[in-house]
Amino acid sequence: MSRDQYTFTDPRTLYPTPDQQPDPETQGEPGLQEAMRDFVDIGAETYRGSGRLDGRKALITGADSGIGAAVAVAFAREGADVAIAYLPEEEEDARLVVDLIEKSGRVAAAIPGDLKDEGYCADLVASAVEKLGGLDILVNNAGKQVYAEKLEDLTDENFDDTLKTNVYGMFWVTRAAVPHLPPGSTIINTTSVQAYSPSPILVDYATTKASINAFTKATAQQLAPRGIRVNAVAPGPIWTPLQVSKGQPKDALEEFGAHTPLGRAGQPAELAPAYVFLASAESSYVIGATLSVTGGMPTP
């Protein structure tokens, strides 16, 4: 490892700016990371663990690719066994993550399914608990983002799918998980800068991300007296399959990240340490917080 996440570097030049890279290929949903290898860094070459999650047991949704995959790799290298959830059509991406978890010497459980299905959400938790022998970290990270230029183009089906995936899925998985979580457990939800600065073409998506912040703050207060901490992470623009599979129009992808103070999009590898901090006992008094990782885009 020539560089790791602790190496002193200039954040402006750590990854390419939009003018330094080719235009990305667009894909259908949910998009495969395998097809955008040159764009996405999940930290496989750089993340160095130091026992911050030794013996922990984590379930991460949407962990086949992007931010969830980077979090899975980081958690495993920090000493956690990890169950990953994803859509069945993402098996190829999921295999890579399973391999990386196992290479860290940890248990990997792969549990594919659709979070829009409440039955799967309950089975997912039961299966993770069985395969890991318990559960003390839950990361609700799966998400759907499909842009619509005009409100009239936003169909009931799209609106419903986005809310079902991003809000109901989180609710169903969390409700099923809570009875299994011992005091000391941590829940981390992935929200977005879209919760505060919604794009005009992401009406449904931004609505879910504001909901996730409110859900986080409400459940944080309810669960803290039970010793369970709930927090959220709000990413800015990050290179992942979500963005190239109808997450943004093609011309916006060409400029993706350029408008941030840092002048570039972020990478999943740059998100993982935020999740490690919130998962670990070192954040014992951090509850109901949203940690922004936005490349400088302002958040409240």
Active-site amino acid positions: 205
Tell me which stretch binds ligand NAD (CB under 6 A): 3-11, 62-70, 177-185, 275-283. Answer: 62-70
**Tokens (6 digits) for 148:** 């619509």
Amino acid at 243: Q
The residue from 90, 136, 204, 270 that contacts Mg ion (CB under 5 A) is 90
Q: Find out whether 102 and 84 touch, Cβ atoms under 8 Å.
A: no
CB atoms near residue 134 (< 10 Å)? 14
**Tokens (6 digits) for 6:** 């602790």
Is beta strand 57-61 parallel, antiparallel or unpaired with respect to 229-235? Answer: unpaired
Q: How far apart are CA 199 and CA 248, in angstroms?
A: 10
**Can residue 294 be called a binding residue for ligand NAD (CB under 6 A)?**
no
The residue from 24, 43, 237, 273 that contacts ligand NAD (CB under 6 A) is 237
The sign of the CA dihedral 269, 270, 271, 273 is positive
Tell me which stretch binds Mg ion (CB under 5 A): 39-47, 88-96, 208-216, 285-293. Answer: 88-96
Q: Based on CB atoms, which residue is closest to Mg ion, 24 or 49?
A: 24
Tell me which stretch binds ligand NAD (CB under 6 A): 1-9, 12-20, 213-221, 240-248. Answer: 240-248
Q: How far apart are CA 57 and CA 131, in angstroms?
A: 10
Residue with tokens 């800015």: 236
The residue from 243, 267, 280, 292 that contacts ligand NAD (CB under 6 A) is 243
**Can residue 238 be called a binding residue for ligand NAD (CB under 6 A)?**
yes
Site for ligand NAD in 131-150 (CB under 6 A): 141-145
The residue from 68, 80, 229, 253 that contacts ligand NAD (CB under 6 A) is 68
Which one, of 132, 118, 110, lies nearest residue 62 by Cα? Answer: 110
Q: Which residues bind ligand NAD (CB under 6 A)?
A: 30-31, 62, 64-68, 86-87, 90, 114-116, 141-145, 165, 190, 192, 235, 237-238, 240-243
Q: Which residues bind Mg ion (CB under 5 A)?
A: 64-65, 90, 241
